[in-house]
Each structure stands twice: as structure tokens, then as C-alpha cells.
Amino acid sequence: MYPPIARKRFGQHFLHDKQIIQRIVDMVAPQTGQHVVEIGPGQGALTVPILKQIGTLDVVEIDRDLIPPLKMRCAEKGHLIVHEADALEFDFAGLVPSGESLRVIGNLPYNISTPLIFHLLDYANIILDMHFMLQKEVVERLAAQPGTEAYGRLSIMMQYHCHVISLFNVSAAAFYPPPKVESSVVRLIPYKEISHFAHHYKHFALLVREAFSHRRKTLRNSLKGLVSDVEWKKIEIDSHLRPEQLSVEDYVTISNRLQPK
């Protein structure tokens, strides 16, 4: 039974389409013995089938009113461990002993999805993979390639850390209440070794942010406060290109040339 009103301040849209639910579970393919944590279990649409499949499941839920009915629904389905907390501030490393990996899933509220994913990247060294339901536009940006309209700061910062795979789209009718936008399911696999490593990550992140704060300008103009004309000659990347024309590797190259080891 659905609650009378989904709380707007938590960005709640409850997934109820059984075919979509099963498709997500199949994509995640959780195995017994794996440590899985679900963010925002809501009414348990994904929680119940995954709990039944693997026996033990951690969930992080901020809405205390959803927790008692969730526990009732999951009773005798397996061992449900509920953490009443804000996922944006939650210590995910505390869920697993040293040396173990974590799998993360969730139908994420659109209003916090990007900062939440970046929060999770702080734990990339212990995360095996992440499967999220997100706004379709956000997934398109996460997976976008250089030279496309969707490609930008989010694309670069996420692809620096993860292999991004857009899985499938989900219509608004699959949710209650239906959101005003389409959704997509994405798989994020953190790299165990980053192929193009930024020697000074904060500088790399600043460089990318500044480049896309003036997206329509050339790199020479958008980065004039960070890169001098003399430095451009040393970098050997065309400064007359626009920010969206450069790859992740290109931005790492610029950062590393300016901030050597």
C-alpha cells in the first residue's frame, strides 16, 4: 500500500513496476556472501527481492516513517540491517571489514543524486560497483563522450573514477507518484587503478570546473587565470578548442604539466 503523500523534501518516487524491478535485480545479479547496501529503500521494491536472494542486506534510509513498514515487509525474508541516516553523510566504510568490497544500489532522489555519487567516490577503493536509478538526463551526462552536447564537468569527473555503463531507460509510469522526467539505470564500476592519474587531484578538479564555467569560450579564454600563454606552448594541446572537445586524459595531461610530481 502506498503512503498518501510521498515527501517532496526527500524527493520520493516509489518504484512499483514489477518487470522493471526484476530487470534491475537481474542486472545487479547479487550473490550470496556479497555485501550489498541499498540507499533509500523506500517501500522495499528492490529490498525484498534482493534480501530474499542473498539473505542479508544493509539499507540506509533517512525517512524514519518508512522504516517500520519496511521491517514488517522484510520480516522472515532475511536479515535486514537498517541504518537511519542521511546517505550524504553516511560512513560507508563502516559497513565492511578491511579487505572486503561493497556493492551499492539505489533508486536515488534526483535532488541529491550527483552529490551523493561524489560522496560515494570517497569510498571507491572499497566499492565493487554501483547500480542506480537516476534522472535520464543525468545518466546521459555521466556516460557522455567528448564532442557531444551532454559532455561536461560531470562526465569528466565521473569517468576519471569509474567505468560508466548506461543500462536502460524507465518511464515515469513505473513510479508512484510519477516524476516529471524519464529515468535511467546506470552501472558505475570504480577503477582499481586509474589509467590517467592526476598528480594533484584538487588542481585537476579546479581545472575542469573552470573550463566548463565558460563552456562556450575557448580553453585559452576559459582557463586564462590558470594557464599562461607560455604554458600552453609546453602543454601541446590546442588552446583554441572548446572545453567539451577534450578527453579526460587531456585534462589530466594539462593538470600534470602545470602541477608536476
CATH of 201-258, one of 1.10.8.100, 3.30.565.10, 3.40.50.10470, 2.60.40.1080: 1.10.8.100
Q: pTM for this one?
A: 0.91
Q: Which of 56-65, 168-177, 227-236 has the highest mean pLDDT?
A: 56-65
Residue pLDDT, tens place only, 142-167: 999 999 999 999 999 999 999 999 99
Indicate the class that CATH gives domain 8-190: alpha beta
Q: Where are the domains of the chain?
A: 8-190, 201-258
Instruction: Give 58's Cβ-side CA count (13 Å radius).
Output: 20
Q: What is the distance of C-alpha 238 from the center of its chain?
A: 31
pLDDT at 177: 78
Q: List, in order, residues 6 or more apart from 114 with CB less than 8 Å away.
A: 138, 154
pLDDT in tens, 163-197: 999 999 999 898 887 778 899 999 999 999 998 99
Furthest-apart CA atoms within the chain: distance in Å: 68
